[in-house]
Structure 1
Amino acid sequence: MPDSTRPAGPRPPSSVLVTGAAGNLGREVVDRLRAHGVRVRSLVRHQTPPRAGVESVVGDLTDPAAVREALVGIDAVFLIWPLLDSASAHAPVAELAAAAPRVVYLSTTAIDDGAARQSDPIAQVHMDVEVLLHEADLRPVVLRSDTLASNARGWASQLRMGDVVSGLDIARTAVVDERDVADAAVAVLLAHRPDQGVHVLTGPEVLSRAEQVAHLGSALRRRLRFQALPADLARSRMLADGRPEPLVEALIAASVRRPESNRVTDHIERLTGRPAGTFAQWAVDHAADFN
């Protein structure tokens, strides 16, 4: 019989708030939490069609009242910070500190812990939010993810028109399947005793954009090629597509300043019990997205 005098150990969370739930990664996290029977709530900026078994609170992550409402009865939070402004993170972090849930924060492998300032605005804002979470004594689990494979969906419209993908030629990265990142996120969200600290999530190989396009070509059985664009031309095209100017400038800065990394880790396998999948397999699994 169990010893009733022994203190009970920590229980895994039964309710999780997912920010960014409408995005490629957020949807995967929500699906996995639901499969585990977890009560899921999303914080969304605009009302969206309801998803079975998912509560939603409409509000902005920078609005303390909306964050406070979303946190009621919540044990854990999967946090994706969507802005290039880290100053506006102070208010929601204060709400998190007051509610004291388990926090799993999605960050980036581009962070250089030895640098006083990061190479570009995207890496800098992630570093700033990590610091804020630690200073609030939230003891976050930080998942520093490399480039998500799902970013390649941004090439779909070009591939429906022809066999050339044009864009910024960023440094080679260990592209990681968003499904693996979601598995890792859920593993730490629901763990009895998560390993607090930093986990670096990468795919199994470092790829250039040209190599990613080649893998897509193999999956689609087409001869595709990547065409690198000068920064000025890439900027004008992204602005014409309706991307916000601060984001465009941050992407340009990242393409120019971010150093190439050949780092590949086994952290996904440590967290999930299986190796990270390849971009080539991701392309096969998602070929229909490009037709």
Structure 2
Amino acid sequence: MANAKPSAANCDRLVRLVPPPAAPVDAHGDWITVETVIGTRLPKDYKRLVEAYGWGEFCDFLYLRTPFGTNKHNGIQWQIPRPTGSPEGDPERYPYPLHPAPGGLLIWGTTMDADRLCWLTDGVPEQWPVVVWSSEGWYETHRMGAAEFLESWAGGRVSSGLLGSMEPNLAPWFNAFRTRTHRCLRLSEGPLSHPDRLRILRETLAPTTDRGSWRSEHDEARQDHFAMVDADWLLTYDASRPHQIRINFPPEDGKQVRRRLVAAVRLMGCEVLRITTATGTTLPSWDAATDEDEE
């Protein structure tokens, strides 16, 4: 019982910082069966994380996995494919064993850069530290549980040489994984300046919330990321030449997305030059369907 309150407190702080989705994906199931299959009890804070957030991503970078559902891209990875070489025979390259070896690494999350977020399963589960195992074979140990690690990273308090950092003054977010359609609309320049075009786009889709921006050193290129508040639409306005709007959205929202974006582009004083999928396939029309859009 000594660890119950700290575990709950860490999750509560994360929930206050990063609102969980209204309908989390793959968030509920039989924990006893899961732990029997894996061969170990799992930390209480992780169970609370799964039940609050489900399968999804923090800030488009840290991916939380759950042991429930049937999607091949989800799940705790307790049977880790052996990397080239042997963790047992190459302790300099692989300083930790892999689960189910005693004290082995057990993966509970990943990152956009293909890094692995692991527990070092040494001692009682509530005291397992987080190990970042980079895609390049580097390791970094953080003496905290999964919930505290996520809350500290999203809050900008984790110092990591392997992970990217949150942009300063940017409110963190969480997206539940679901099937999405991706579209990229390449636009003609039009008579208005970039700030005016961006303002019109966001006003047409209001209310929206910031998700960060990027600018080159001389402001020759920039990207502005934002999301709809009342719909699960994620957008990027890219000021490259030709400038473009990238959007991903639930497939059932397709007609509404088309209507609102067409109206926005018209008010921006632009024309749609080309529509492509996430893989770059050009569509003959907005309505053209393709299986390549699904995550």
* TM-score, normalization by structure 2: 0.25
Q: Which has the higher contact order (CA 8 A, sep 6+)?
A: 1
Point out the structure with max Rg over C-alpha: 2
Which structure shows the higher strand fraction? 2
